[in-house]
Structure 1
Amino acid sequence: MKKEAPFKWETECEEAFQHFKRVLAEPPILAKPQTGETLYLYLSITEEALAAALVRENEKKEQKPVYFISKVLQDAEARYSRLEKLAFTLLTASRRLRQYFQAHLVTVRTDQAVKQVLQKPDLAGRMLAWSIELSQFQIKFEPRNAIKAQAMADFIEMTPGKLTLESWKLHVDGSSNSTYGGAGVILENQDGITIEQSVRYEFLVSNNQAEYEALLAGLSLAQEVGAKVLEVNTNSQVVSSQINGDYQTRDPILQQYLAKVNKLRKGFEHVTIRHVPRERNARADLLSKLASTKPGHGNKSLIQEVVKTPSVSTTTNAHLTISNQGSWTYPILQYLLDGTLPPDPKEEKRIKREAANYTIVAGQLYKRGFSQPLLKCIEPENTEYILREIH
């Protein structure tokens, strides 16, 4: 056997040893945030566990850890969808680090549509309860960037690799008759989250125009939830072929619709428009037909939005109902739309608490509950008309 070479303590060994001693002598210390300072929260999930890192940034944009939390998912928690797990991670962090959430503005940095999901109108059960509980804190959301601090190594190791952009499927269908037009929209992601929307148009509309209106409503809904990769399914061969360039668009009105669709498509990373048979678009077809009829007793649980003017005749995508400043809905709408709050601290706290029970669907304010359909909020000047119609 070959004789082992004698061990030599060389200069490199001494340098490595001294470096190791310095590391042991200077363990990472959690930073103490200053009063009123903005803190940043990073979320991480795996199949069996969740983790969150709360950090602060100094003037040089250097990140220092404030606190870490982790939790092993139990039973039903492990079966949550990805977005539900992320929302649950945020909720867990707010409970364990309540003192930081109460004293500081917390900005959540994530590349997932957590904010959009927590504000969707079809929330029910635990997600709605989580949304209401989180509304008591000052929480903002922004796209996630790199965690710069070396002290985040443990957190980064358990963070899943860079996620590919989540793909969403959109099914749209439009219908029209001699009185009304309607649109059915179904948006779903890979985690099984499904959002259904039914829109009724109170203006004369052709079949092709109704199909375009449905597509515009679907693209707007996809933008609201933060979708970037979208697969659109429509049973209108005319619309799909015009958008894909297979057919020429000679009708002036359809040209306006096509230009608006192309403008909305620029807000996505990738959009695919596919023509599918009507039987593969049956649910969206049903929603469009229900929307194009007068609301009756059979569809009370269905959210039916009413649009009074065509999309091509306006400059905005959403037909927003603007309330006067004296209305009770005005401060809630202002907060939900752009985050504007009253200057009075007590009134600010009240509006933030109440706003958690409301949502905006296509510009209309609705009140939501645990086990009831969305309740449409009306302006004071409309109450007399509604009471007169009821009686």
Structure 2
Amino acid sequence: MLEKVALTLLTTARRLRRYFQAHRIVVRTDQPVRQVLHKPDLAGRMVSWSIELSEHDIRYEPRRAIKAQVLADFLVELTDEEEPPAETTWVVNVDGSSNKEGGGAGIVLQSSTGMVVEQSLRFNFPTTNNQAEYEACIAGLVTARDLGAKEILVCCDSLLVVSQANGEAQAKDPILEQYLAHLKRLASTFNKVEFRHVPRAQNDRANTLAKLASTGKPGLNGTVIQGTLALPYVADPDRPVGQVMMSIGTEDDWRTPIIKYLRSGWLPEEKAEAKKLVRRSSWYTIVNDDLFKRGFSTPLLKCLAKDRAAYVLAEIHEGSCGHHPGGRSLARKVLRAGYYWPTLEKDAAEHVKQCDPCQRHADLHNAPPARLSSLVSPCPFHQWGMDLLGPFDTAPGQLKYLVVAVDYYTKWIEAEPLATITTARVQRFFYKNVISRFGVPGVLVTDNGTQFTSKGFRDL
């Protein structure tokens, strides 16, 4: 159903492209289209659809009732009492699997409206069967929370996990105690959570997804959301459930507007800035309350603030494994390490310039300290500039003006004082001080920008 809704929106945007580009579009639907299109682990064609729709200014709102007077009168006349809308109940089937090849979890979420979401998670850390079952239950609750579920029914084929979650059994293993505490804190964020034990035969779809993830073989089903967990959920037991763990920092943090848009659809008031933010946000996603940048051929890059970025630069440049690389090499190493911020290359170059060991022990750099400028004149005494200066204070001989000629290449200066400015005196100065000494120049530039060629000098 979600793919059908997304395809309908994409087709409408293509057919009405001019309207979508010129106006803000409000989409009212009862499907969680926005949450799904902004998820980082989309599969197949949904990724290209999400990027194509991100260029437009689209707002998603819950679908309201039809405001027609006829229907309103009909409901008033024939309805005795208004029944409250039924709360959507989600059934979450989870299963965990652990073997010598690895561990994985399978999750199948089905709402009372008929919506089905399937997810397969692979664990990059060793787990036992009971730990894999807990990881599957926690991942199922997290996915249901991301979809906006309030009342859920968790079906699991592990009697141990269900008994401990319902309080019928006690967890004696210290690791399972941490998993149980984390599961209960996560369950407290919902209005109603019920854990039910089901036979393995009734949980076959989740079992299949768990085996698919644990064997490490990618599935051919494009509708399954596949992902990977690098660390267990109990790696940080003090983490509060339902709260943002990423420190946004100061108000001028570059991540703040992107995070606000991805979470709540916030946009700045200026239309140009809003359009720019929507276009930029299509390359970012939020995973476990952290902002990541995605690309076509690169893995997800974690976005860092300024203070954290300075620490990463220092650690990679002169850390335990750092060999003091240059600015460009340092920036590439940061990207390969999985980090990103907009001013990465500039900050890397500035960090190398401020590194004291690099300045002391680096090879001699023969480049000039300032940027070189191109020469206007091709050879010495080819192009001259001439100007008249004055009047100055009267000198002996009634001299109060000055005629000056400067070579563009060598900056050679020829000057002569004049009592009065006449054509004959300027011609005599130019012939005596320039032509007689250096030959006929190719170009002469006067104060008003007029240029004379060699033919003009001969006429002069």
CA distance in 2, matches of 1:126, 1:268: 29
Among 196, 212, 231, the residue aligned to 2:134: 212
1:216-365 pair list within 5 angstroms: 216-293=138-215, 295-296=216-217, 303-314=225-236, 315=239, 335-337=261-263, 346=272, 348-353=274-279, 355-356=281-282, 360=286
Among 87, 91, 116, the residue aligned to 2:35: 116
Offset of 1:288 from its aligned partner? 1.5
Structure 1 unmatched ranges of 5 or more: 1-80, 387-391
Offset of 1:180 from its aligned partner? 2.8
CA distance in 2, matches of 1:343, 1:115: 21
Tell me how large the CA RMSD over aligned residues is: 5.2
1:168 aligns with 2:90: yes
Indicate conservation of the 8 Å contact 2:38/2:262, yes or no: no
**What is aligned with 2:351?**
none
1:139 partner letter = R
CA distance in 2, matches of 1:368, 1:157: 54
CA distance in 1, matches of 2:274, 2:24: 16
CA distance in 2, matches of 1:366, 1:191: 34
1:169 partner letter = V
Among 187, 190, 195, the residue aligned to 2:112: 190
1:14-33 pair list within 5 angstroms: none
CA distance in 2, matches of 1:172, 1:252: 23
3-state SS in 2 of match to 1:170: strand
1:336 partner letter = L
CA distance in 2, matches of 1:211, 1:296: 20
Give the length in aligned residue pairs: 294
3-state SS in 1 of match to 2:125: coil
Offset of 1:88 from its aligned partner? 7.2
Distance 1:141 1:375, change over 3 A: farther
3-state SS in 2 of match to 1:214: helix
CA distance in 2, matches of 1:296, 1:382: 30
Structure 2 unmatched ranges of 5 or more: 76-81, 249-253, 303-331, 339-460
CA distance in 1, matches of 2:217, 2:45: 27
Distance 1:201 1:322, change over 3 A: farther
**What is aligned with 2:56?**
136
CA distance in 1, matches of 2:98, 2:195: 22
Offset of 1:127 from its aligned partner? 12
Offset of 1:140 from its aligned partner? 5.7
1:136 partner letter = H
CA distance in 1, matches of 2:114, 2:298: 25
Indicate conservation of the 8 Å contact 1:179/1:203, yes or no: no
Percent identity reads 35
Offset of 1:235 from its aligned partner? 0.7
Q: Deviations over 1:293-334 (max 9, x none)?
A: 3x44665956432222221122166999999xxxx9998667
CA distance in 1, matches of 2:33, 2:281: 17
Offset of 1:173 from its aligned partner? 0.8
1:203 partner letter = F
1:349 partner letter = K
Distance 1:330 1:297, change over 3 A: farther
CA distance in 1, matches of 2:127, 2:168: 24
Q: Deviations over 1:174-194 (max 9, x none)?
A: 112346321111112233322
Relative contact order, CA 8 A, sep 6+: which one is greater?
Answer: 1
Distance 1:246 1:86, change over 3 A: same
Offset of 1:273 from its aligned partner? 1.0
The normalised TM-score by structure 1 is 0.55
3-state SS in 2 of match to 1:181: strand
Larger Rg: 2
Indicate conservation of the 8 Å contact 1:118/1:128, yes or no: no
Offset of 1:375 from its aligned partner? 8.9
Distance 1:331 1:189, change over 3 A: same
CA distance in 2, matches of 1:179, 1:82: 33
1:200 aligns with 2:111: no
3-state SS in 1 of match to 2:143: helix
Q: Deviations over 1:209-252 (max 9, x none)?
A: 11111101000100111112212111100001111122122222
